[in-house]
Structures are given as C-alpha cells and as structure tokens.
A = this chain, B = another copy of it.
Amino acid sequence: MDDFEFRNPTKILFGRGAEAKVGVETAAIAKKILLHFGGGSIKASGLFDRVVASLREAGVEFVELGGVKPNPRLALVHEGVKLCKRHKLGLILAVGGGSVIDSAKAIAMGAVIEGDVWDFYLGKGQPKAALPVGTVLTIPAAGSEASTGTVITKEEGWLKRSVNTELIYPRFSILNPELAFTLPPFQVACGATDIMSHLMERYFTNVKNVSFTDRLLEATMKTIIAKAPQVMKNRHDYDAWSEFMWAGTIAHNNLLNTGRIGDWGSHDIEHEISGIYDVAHGAGLAVVFPAWMKFVHSHDLDRFVQWAVRVWNVELDVFNREAVVKEGIARMEAFFRSLGLGTTMAGLGIKDDRVDEMATKCTDGDTRSVGNFVRLDRAAVKRVLELAY
C-alpha cells in the first residue's frame, strides 16, 4: 500500500425529503448565496420551490444563476464569479447533477481571486482559497457531491480541463434518492456506467498489497451491478435508489483510492470521443472500457482474474485464466447493453475516420502518455480506439 493522506469533510444529509434541511445548513455558513442550477427540470419537479422555501425560512437571501449545461462551460462560470463579487455572496448552492456542482466549484474558486479561474484549469498556479459550496444532488453519477474535482469546458477550442483540490470539497451535500425518480432511463444508464468507471479506474492499479481497498471497490461495483437494473425497471424504487446513490458517492469521494494509484486512461480517451462527437460521458465510457480491457489485461492477468471472479461471479478456472478474464469483460459488456447502452463506436453511430485525430489530441501529439496501470502512447491509444469498433 502506498503512503497517503485522506480527509473528506463533506457533511452528507441522506434521506427522503432531506432537501428541507438546505436552509438551515446553508444559513449556518452564509446568509447571502448564489443559487446555481441547470435547466427547467428542477422547476418542473417542484424541487426548486422546495429549496427556495427552505432558504427563505432560514433567512437566506439568494441570487439565481441557472443554465448550466452538460459539460459545464467557462462562460457561465465567469458570470457566476461576477455575481458573487458584485453581491458579496458567501456560498454557492448547487442544485443538480455533476455539471452544476462542477460549475459551482469553479465559481467558488474564481470568486476569491482577481485573475481568471481558468488559469487553475490550465495548471497555472494553485488555488489558495474558495467560497464554500453546498449541493442538493439530483443525479447519482459524477460523484462531485463529495469529491475534490471539477471539470470545466472552455467553449473556444472545446478544451475540457479539470482541477483537484481539497478546497472544493462541498461543505454539505443533500442526497434524497427520491429526486432520482424522474431521471430519464438513458441518464440512469449513463450514471451507472460513470460510477462503475470511477470504481474500475481505481481498481486497476500496479500498487501491491491493496487487498482491503480491492474488496471495498468490489463491494461497491457489485452494488451498482445489482441495483442499476432495479432502478431501470422501477424508477420509483426508493430502496434500490438509496443504495445506488450512496454507492455512487462513495465510489468517488477518495476513500477508495487511499494507498493506491488509479489508471484514468479510459477517462482521458473518452474525453476525446465526447469532445468530438458530443456523446454522453457514460455512453462513451461503456465503449472505451471494454476496448481498454482487451488491450491491457495481459499486463496483470491476476488482477483481471480477481475482478472477473469476484465482481462478475465468473467461475475460476486456474488452467484457463485468459478465458476467465474474457468472460468477465463479456459480462461487463452485457451489463452495459442491458442498460440500453452500446458498447462499440459503431453502436454509437461513430465512423472510424477520426481515430488518428483523437489519438493525437489525447496524447498531445504523442508528447504525453495517458493511464497509469499501463501507460498508453499515441499508438496504444489508437489501438484501444480501434478495438472499440
């Protein structure tokens, strides 16, 4: 196990109707806030009104900023930063999914500096402070509700970049599984895939003596595999949603990578696909992961055998370990397809004429490799993409 430091101070308020607590939680930190959200769905569902009522009851004033889109944009972040400075706001409350929360985190860092927050995303300097962020989660998927990460897209050049810092752990996150009842099935499927990918990126590591976190990761994967079909079948199944939602948070709150180094190559490759073709992140991951596994599994066959046997219940055949792994990968593909997702680029309707371009962008023209479990150069990324067709 590697040495590590770990801390996650996010307060989780979990349960039916938990959004009623948002006013009190917010008021304990700030009395004048930015209320940040996406489109009209939270207004149609009544969630917006309930949040506003709770804030008003607690004496919290707010400035509204809606309009966050998937792949949250820098322009809206800049708008939020201006609002925070102009009105001297003390907290960003994100009501929505990962995109809204990521946007809120960017605003939180931008509101306390003179310069442009985008510099942090470009790696120019480190944030030293941030306004507090609170969240009311509506989509179990990205895990941003208890994570140190934020991914923002700059429209010019469609540059997608991330920042990781403990400063942006949300101060509180409200998780009410009922809020997921109205998600469209495709979004549920993408969420399940996103969560699985957070777990698999962490699982495939070269660090030895990590059997404890291996088992925690396996436990969380098995939960998503069991619960995703249940919530797809009955989208009002509170019990299944509650386990799905909590597993989605734990998958990405940094506990499960304590003492180990994840891979994250598949995420980098997927960003190129969604960058060019505007497919949903989860849908792209369902295509990249099988291809990545086919390419890298021989690097550590034992680890893949363990994964196939423990996570996918493939019967161990010690004399045919390669076959065990192939069956594990096949079961993962069948799982993604059972959720209604394609597992090939062709299935996403993507032609193979821009593979070179994606491999080049992903590796900055072959000047950097992606992934840690296996370091992939441009040629390797290209091969993974080819295996995805």
Whether a CB of chain B sits under 8 angstroms from the CB of A351 is no
Among residues of B, the one whose C-beta sits closest to the C-beta of A166 is B11
Taken together as a complex, chains A and B put the C-alpha atoms of A198 and B220 apart, in Å, by 20
**Are the CB atoms of A5 and B1 closer together than 8 Å?**
no
Pair B209/A215 contact, Cβ less than 8 Å: no
Scan residues 1-23 of chain A and give those whose CB is less than 8 A from a CB of chain B: 1-16, 18
Q: Is A319 an interface residue (CB 8 A)?
A: no
Is there contact, CB below 8 Å, between A211 and B7? no
In the complex, the answer to whether B8 meets A4 with C-beta atoms within 8 Å is: no
The answer to the question of A208 belonging to the interface, with a C-beta cut-off of 8 Å to chain B, is: yes
Asked if A219 and B209 make an inter-chain contact with CB atoms under 8 angstroms apart, the answer reads no
Residue in chain B with minimal CB distance to A247? B212
Is B219 within 8 A of A223, CB to CB? no
Contact A258 B239 (CB under 8 A): no
Check A60 for interface membership: any CB of B closer than 8 A: no
Could you say which of A4, A18, A218 has the most chain B C-beta atoms within 10 Å of its C-beta? Answer: A4
22 contacts between A and B (CB under 8 A): A1-B242, A3-B16, A5-B11, A5-B14, A6-B11, A6-B12, A6-B14, A7-B12, A8-B8, A209-B242, A211-B243, A212-B219, A212-B243, A212-B246, A212-B247, A212-B250, A215-B220, A216-B216, A216-B219, A218-B219, A219-B219, A246-B258
Pairs of residues from A and B, 4 with the lowest C-beta to C-beta distance, nearest first? A3-B15, A215-B219, A7-B11, A209-B239
